[in-house]
Amino acid sequence: MRGTLKSICAASAICLLTLACQPDSPAPAPVAKDLPKRSDLITRGKTTDSWQLVLRDAGGESVVTDLHGSSPAGNLTVTPPDNQAPADTFVASWNGPASLVVKGEPENFQPITMGGRVLEVIYKVIEADVSQASLAMGQPQAAMDITEQLNTRTTEGWQTSRIRLSCFADLGAPMSSMSEPVIISVVGSLKLQVTSARLVTFAGTATCDEEDGS
């Protein structure tokens, strides 16, 4: 009996030693979870996750809450359409130099910069008398000029703008530490209705100019 127990104990020890010496399983290949999780920046008129909608002008910046807000110097306001709530869009109204910004903690967009990923914004121009306007990512210098698009589309209804992330990267956008993925800067007068902004894979035509579709 003692011999049997000794054999069992010896076998158990060998098994435990064998298990302890097994090499760790190889790390899984990178998958989607390694990419930024927050592909939706604005959905149904509201920022998602920890992103915030910020209004910035010469007086500083303020955060929009419940689809209502005004920049410190009063050059930019955000309201629900016709001041009605609940709403799934918001209206941004400029009457002087100011920027509408989606802002959050820095996140690494570098892994999704290539491969067809675009910044897609769905919007409608209500009124426009703009002398200068741009859509930027990360910093104001990494910007696409959208002055003509805004001034000529007041009667065209909902529009979809798609610009490849690689275009912003080429202009110096800090893709590996992205804290402001949307910056709409305007000089002049503008009423812009926005329902969504997101990062999506797009197989169609999208260049470093604004691409629109109804």
For residue 182, the 8-state DSSP code is E
Which residues in the chain show pLDDT less than 70?
1-38, 83-86, 206-207, 209-214
pLDDT given at position 39: 87
pLDDT given at position 10: 43
Find tokens 């002087």 and name the residue: 96
Count the residues in the chain.
214
Decide the pairing of beta strands 76-79 and 69-70: antiparallel
pLDDT given at position 210: 57
pLDDT given at position 49: 85
Radius of gyration of the chain (CA): 25
DSSP H or E stretch at residue 42:
strand 40-43
Q: Which three-class secondary structure state does DSSP give residue 3?
A: helix
Residue type for 80, please? P
pLDDT given at position 201: 87
For residue 65, the 8-state DSSP code is B
> What does the alpha-carbon distance between residue 180 and residue 83 come to, in Å, rounded to a whole number?
27
Question: Is this model's pTM higher than 0.85 or not?
Answer: no
pLDDT in tens, 80-127: 997 565 689 999 999 999 999 999 999 999 998 987 789 999 999 999
pLDDT given at position 153: 94
Where are any strands of DSSP class E within 83-153? 90-94, 98-103, 117-136, 143-145
